[in-house]
Structure 1
Amino acid sequence: MSGYTDEEGRTLRTAVYGAMVLVSVAEEGALDQESRAGIRAMATLPPEVRHVVGSDAPELPAGSVVDVENGVLAALRDSMSLLSARSAAQADAFADAVVAMCAEVASADGRVGRAEDAVVGKVRAALGR
């Protein structure tokens, strides 16, 4: 898995897919458009990370909406720690890509609502942006 353990891969997948899901469910919208926008934007992930993220099915935390959000935000923070330990440039590229993916998902229906913007803000904070 490109030098990542199974656990690290799960963390990265939870962070990437989870961030997109949090934005997508923040407000009613065009789920199909949002999903396609997020998947297209995944191309901006660093290649090694993109490979790991695409190598297996994503797993979201279980529990209430708050539990899922907290779990995804923790996975984002853990991903930054993991990637920063390997390469500051890769961590920066990851953070920029995840923020771009969230922005694409939020604006997929032609507008960004307040709740979507708030979730993007939480994602940015978890990534240290």
Structure 2
Amino acid sequence: MTELTAEEKSTLKTAAFGAVFLVSDADPGFFTMLKESFAASDALAGATGLVREVLTGGPLPKLPRGSTAEVEAVVLPALERSVAILREKAPSEVDNYRAAVVAAAEQAASAAHGVDAREADALAKVKSAVGVVSDPTPTGE
């Protein structure tokens, strides 16, 4: 396994937190976002190995600002790049990263009022970006 650079670690972390932000942003409201953020942080902290080290260490990432489309334009390619980085440098961590990101996004989506259509759409985009096939049936409706 090759060591990740600071830039690569930042990409992985920004992508993971950005995925949670995309899902959380789909269900607006301060208290809703707070609830979803706490739920997601548990999933990210539950990762193991290198993924846990990257996601829980260092400063919080700077997430993109703007419209949903502008945030997606940064986060979704970062998720794809994160999987590519891990495939190249730490192949045994790819599934761990995917699982942590998807679990965090799913927990954020279901933390308040179940999963609505906008959250399900955001989840599907996150899953697609990390290479996880999406279940077409929304949960929690």
Q: Within 5 Å, give how 1:1-129 maps onto structure 2.
A: 3-29=3-29, 30-54=32-56, 55-129=58-132
Paired residues, number: 128
Runs (4+) of structure 1 exceeding 6 A deviation are none
Normalized per residue, the structure richer in helix is 1
Task: Encode CA deviations 1:73-102: one digit per residue, 9 max, x unaligned.
Answer: 011000000011123331011101111110
8 A contact 1:99–1:123 mirrored in 2:
yes
AA in 1 matched with 2:23: V
Answer 1 or 2: higher relative contact order, Cα 8 Å, separation at least 6.
1
Instruction: State the distance in 2 between where 1:6 and 1:63 align.
Output: 25
State the TM-score, normalizing by the size of structure 1: 0.90
The alignment-based identity, stated in percent, is 38
State the TM-score, normalizing by the size of structure 2: 0.83
Runs of at least 5 residues in structure 1 that lack an aligned partner in the other structure: none
**Is the deviation greater in 64-73 or in 90-99?**
64-73
